[in-house]
Chains A and B, each alone.
Chain A
Amino acid sequence: MQSLKNTFSSLWQTLFGHPVRAFGAVSLLFLISLAIAPAKNYFSEWRHYQNRYLALVRGRGDAVTLQRHFHEHDGIQQIWLPTLGVVDRCTTCHAGLKEASLADVGTQPFRQHPVIPHTLDQFGCVMCHRGQGPATTVEEAHRSTAAWEQPILPARYVQSSCGQCHRAPLTGTPQLNLGRNLLGRYGCVHCHTIKLPDGSAIKPTDVPPSLSHVADKSTREWVYAWLKDPQAYAVTATMPNFKLSDPDARDISAFLIANSTPIAGDTAPVAPGAKNQKPPDPTAGASLYGESFCASCHAVQNAAGNVVGGDVGPELTRVGSKVKPEWLRAWLRNPRVYDSQTLMPHYRLTDPQVSLLTAFLGNKTDSDLLANVHLDAATPEQVAHGKLLVTEYGCASCHEISGIKKPDNFAPELTRIGSKPLTQIIFLPGMTHAIPDYIAAKIREPRSFGSALKMPQFSLAPAQVDALTTALLSLTDRAHDLPLALTVPSKPPSNYQPAGKAGQLMADLTCFSCHAINGRGSDMAPDLTWEGSSVQRPWLQAFLKNPGTLRPALIRRMPRFNLSDDDAKELTDYIMAVYQTPAFDRDSMPSSGYPPAQVEQGKQLFYSKYACQSCHIVDTKVDKGYVGPTLTQVGSRLTAAWIYHWLKDPQAMRPGAIEPNRNMNDEDARALTAFLMTQKGSNKQEAKK
């Protein structure tokens, strides 16, 4: 101890014992401390990367250009965009982002940025990639640190950033579009409110059935089995699994059945003698199912396990185990009696047809589904407990249940979930502490965050989870705080409603389930906004009565609704009068009487210059193309004016049409119109269909 003290005091003496030596030592220390800052700068990470970039560039053929670009701005680079709140220094190390000739360089941080519709100078980096823009070390820029919560966004979610400004679907962001679609389709927004920056809220697009009359439709046993595992009944069911215990499912089913009230006319008793009759021909039912194009909306799982058919209506694989035959009869006769809002059209089937379909669908049963369901008669206590559970689980958020109010804000609002502060989140052990990981885990398995949580288990494929995460991540503070002028708004939803008797007919036939008119409706079938300018009256009326085949390669076609002559005429009158384009007069060109020379010229153009036969059929013996509609009777289907204007600019007539614009001159368009108007079809071909 003593020796240490001696050494220390002698060292002190040596350094500071004499004023001159003291001055020298202090100066030295001062110099060293002064050198710390420049040294830190010199040995900084970004300088290291810039030197590596220069070394990489040196050996290349385009070195001179690349070096010149680099030396135009030395030192730390910065993209500063005050309007967007962007201060990005990423280009300090990512020196080759803008160099198109670095396409062959695969090592980071020197890769060229892939082609996107925006430039770096306009938008910077963190708008899309997140991270800490002003940082100049790898750690601080990319990862979340004590002072910065938003690490770099994983590439799989990068489309979420597009969604901050672009509210309308973009062709280049299929994942974001899917995710936004799923938010509505899986009913997330029934429980979670999501407000958009323009003040509107995302609306659900699923239509969960009302449970106020469920006893008319299904048995308690089926309700129980469904509640226990919806996907066991239908693999495509969007209803989530609430992981209910057996007694809970028993009590909820007891309550729902006890709470159900009957609707007059929503069941049609099977005729007394019918039960003893031989079952109708099973193939007849199947072919009626096919002819009515039920598969356009409803899917059925085939023997190979593949789900085949549309997803507008519920899957029908085991529908015979679900619905009561007397309810099904009434539903097929007129679905609007049971559910006035259904997307299913009123088919106007005859009684024998209803029986056929009822028998066909009634046979779609699964004996395993209800084999182990044995429920005793419900006690009042069970019903009361069931009601409590229904309120607790928020069933009324999605389903209408008489006597239970739809709860408000049942689940946390997700309006700004993409920027939720990490301090408000409880992460699971072993989980990366970042928003994307949290959202994805929560969607994938909500109850892993606590078995008492109410959020149910959804059946989603990994790609769907990623898509939903992407859509939710786009709901950031930035998305909400951006000036509206800098966003690309989506088209406001249309609530177009056709008027009068025709309007009622269209509601009854649910035309909007397949067709769009004036911005409302689905894109399954052609847009009818200008149908009145497009088609000829006699054809339309005949088509509504008995729709023929226009596009042979399509599996989804217009079904036959068995309309009465009056109804067909009513609809035709309305369509011809109301759905007209302002662009031209449909009667401005004659439907026949074109000079033969012009017709012949049109034929030449059709087959040689424009080679229309690659996609269309005019002569069934020679032509084979079936991308577009068959044109054998186009002269009695379309108006000459429509054909002419369509040929001039198809996309102007129907946005998104796939027929290319040929920039056709007037003479060619007129000649082709003349030729096509001679294609009136023959009765023989009509009969064949």
Chain B
Amino acid sequence: MKRLWRTLFAVSLTLVSAGCTRKPGPASARKPTGFGAALVESSGGKQIGATGMVLAQPLVVQVNDEQGTAVSGALVEFSGPAGASFDPPSGLTDSSGQLSTNVALGGMAGRYQLIARTSAKTQKTVELKIEEIALGYQQQLGYQLDNKYCARCHNPESSPERVSNYDNLEVKPHPFTEGDTLNKMSDAELTSIISHGGPALNKSALMPPYGYTLSKTEIEALIAYIRLISDPPYHASGMVYAQK
């Protein structure tokens, strides 16, 4: 109750002080001059970051009108689950119809569904959902191990720094995002195949055993990472108790 009064007092104080200042506040500067019909993601979605940290690439969204041409001066607001923050949280699109924001994800590992909103001419709100992944300590460790040991074969994407070996293999490895296959395997099965190699589960011998190279903690971290980035998302079986 006391807190409620305190909040009310604070709100009224802010209102009064806002009323007293003559300077045009940021709110008036943000008045939209354009209205679009669609919101599209230009870049920065589906990134893998770390909990609480700013994503490597800014999130860039573009406002288009019915014809698909970019609209400048449209107001875009970002929001996300608890902990996610945006810098800036809202703004007007630039001359190319785009708005860029730096996203920091929350303190909990997992998938973050971010929402960008803009209002159309008809006062209707257009929404765009963007998903980002935050790695916790364990998944972060798994990500590092993936980069060092696994990605050369399991990731079909090549970069100049690391050419993928995926195409060279007769039996194709499963990319770690391949949830359709990997979600069906239990943690025990994944541990077994990582520790003892492909033949342990009657799979290809091209997958060597890592049980003598990686520790138990490292293999757990790797699995935690694989579970988090899988698409469609992985839902642990067992151990889940329904809440009332």
Give residues in A with beta carbon < 8 Å to B: 56, 58-62, 101, 103-106, 111, 114-117, 154-158, 171-172, 174-175, 308, 462-463, 466, 553, 555, 608-611, 613-615, 624-627, 651, 658, 660-663
Contact = CB atoms under 8 A, between A and B. Distances in A.
B216 to A, nearest CB: 12
Contact of A615 (B104, B107, B165, B210): B165
A61 B239 CA distance: 9
Query: Binding site of B, secondary structure by majority: helix, strand, loop or mixed?
Result: loop
Contact of A156 (B52, B56, B211): B52
Interface stretch (B34-42, B89-97, B115-123, B141-149): B141-149
Contact of A660 (B54, B162, B213, B240): B213
A426 to B, nearest CB: 24
Contacts of B155: none
B54 A172 contact: no
A626 B165 contact: yes
Interface in B128-163: 136-138, 140-141, 144-145, 148-149, 152-153, 160-163
B212 interface: yes
A466 B54 contact: yes
B179 interface: no
A609 B149 contact: no
Interface stretch (B22-30, B60-68, B201-209): B201-209
A175 B137 contact: no
B106 interface: yes
Given A117-B137, A117-B217, A171-B144, 14 more contacts: A56-B243, A115-B136, A115-B220, A115-B224, A155-B106, A155-B107, A171-B145, A463-B56, A466-B54, A611-B204, A611-B205, A611-B208, A660-B208, A662-B208
Contacts of B242: 60-61
B200 interface: no
A194 B33 CA distance: 50
A104 B144 contact: no
A174 B145 CA distance: 12
Contact of B210 (A56, A58, A555, A660): A660
Nearest to A153: B52
Interface centre among A116, A555, A614, A660 (most CB of B within 10 A): A614
A614 B104 contact: no
B152 A627 contact: yes
A81 B209 CA distance: 41
B5 interface: no
Contacts of A106: 108
A156 B105 CA distance: 9
A175 B53 contact: yes
Contacts of A660: 149, 208-210, 212-213
Interface residues of B, number: 53
A105 B239 CA distance: 12
Contact of B161 (A157, A555, A627): A555
A658 B148 contact: yes
Given A106-B108, A611-B204, A174 B140 contact: yes
Contacts of A116: 137-138
Contacts of A114: 51, 108-109, 136-138
Given A115-B138, A174-B140, A627-B153, A101 B239 contact: yes
Interface centre among B106, B108, B141 (most CB of A within 10 A): B141
A175 B138 CA distance: 14
19 contacts: A56-B243, A60-B241, A61-B241, A101-B241, A114-B136, A115-B136, A116-B138, A117-B137, A157-B52, A172-B144, A462-B54, A463-B54, A553-B163, A608-B205, A613-B206, A658-B149, A660-B149, A660-B209, A662-B212
Contacts of A614: 153, 165, 168-169, 206-208
A199 B87 CA distance: 39
Given A462-B102, A466-B54, A103 B239 contact: yes
Q: Across the A-B interface, give the 9 residue pairs with the lowest CB-CB distance, nearest first.
A: A155-B52, A59-B244, A155-B107, A624-B168, A553-B163, A661-B212, A156-B52, A614-B206, A61-B241
Nearest to B206: A614
Interface in B186-244: 204-213, 217, 220, 224, 236, 239-244
A608 B204 CA distance: 10
Contacts of A462: 54, 87, 102
Nearest to A108: B82
Nearest to B205: A611
Contacts of A608: 205
A116 B107 CA distance: 14
B165 A466 contact: no
Contacts of A103: 236, 239-240
B76 interface: no
Interface centre among A56, A553, A609 (most CB of B within 10 A): A553
B83 interface: yes
Contacts of B209: 660, 662-663
B50 interface: yes
Contacts of B220: 115
A589 B161 CA distance: 36
Contacts of B140: 172, 174
Contacts of B244: 58-60
Contacts of B145: 171
Contact of B240 (A56, A104, A661): A104
Contacts of A58: 244
Contacts of B152: 627
B205 to A, nearest CB: 4
B240 A625 contact: no
Given A466-B54, A626-B163, A171 B141 contact: yes
B108 A111 contact: yes
Contacts of B53: 155-156, 175, 463, 466
Contact of B52 (A105, A158, A613): A158
Contacts of A611: 204-206, 208
B141 A610 contact: no
Contacts of B162: 553
Contacts of B102: 462
A172 B137 contact: yes
Contacts of A663: 209, 211-212
Contacts of B160: 308, 555
Contacts of A155: 51-53, 83, 106-107
B112 to A, nearest CB: 12
Contacts of B104: 156
Contact of B168 (A56, A610, A625, A658): A625
B53 to A, nearest CB: 5
A652 to B, nearest CB: 11
A62 B241 contact: yes
B208 A154 contact: no
A59 B243 CA distance: 6
A337 B208 CA distance: 51
B51 to A, nearest CB: 6
Contacts of A466: 53-54
Contacts of A56: 243
Interface centre among B87, B152, B204 (most CB of A within 10 A): B152
Contacts of B136: 114-115
Contacts of B50: 174-175
Contact of B213 (A59, A171, A651): A651
Nearest to B217: A117
Interface centre among A111, A114, A615, A658 (most CB of B within 10 A): A114
A158 B107 CA distance: 10
A627 B241 contact: no
B162 to A, nearest CB: 8
Interface centre among A116, A156, A608 (most CB of B within 10 A): A156
A106 B239 CA distance: 15
Nearest to B136: A114
Contacts of B210: 660
A658 B211 CA distance: 13
Given A171-B141, A624-B168, A651-B213, A104 B241 contact: yes
Nearest to A171: B144
Contacts of B54: 156, 462-463, 466
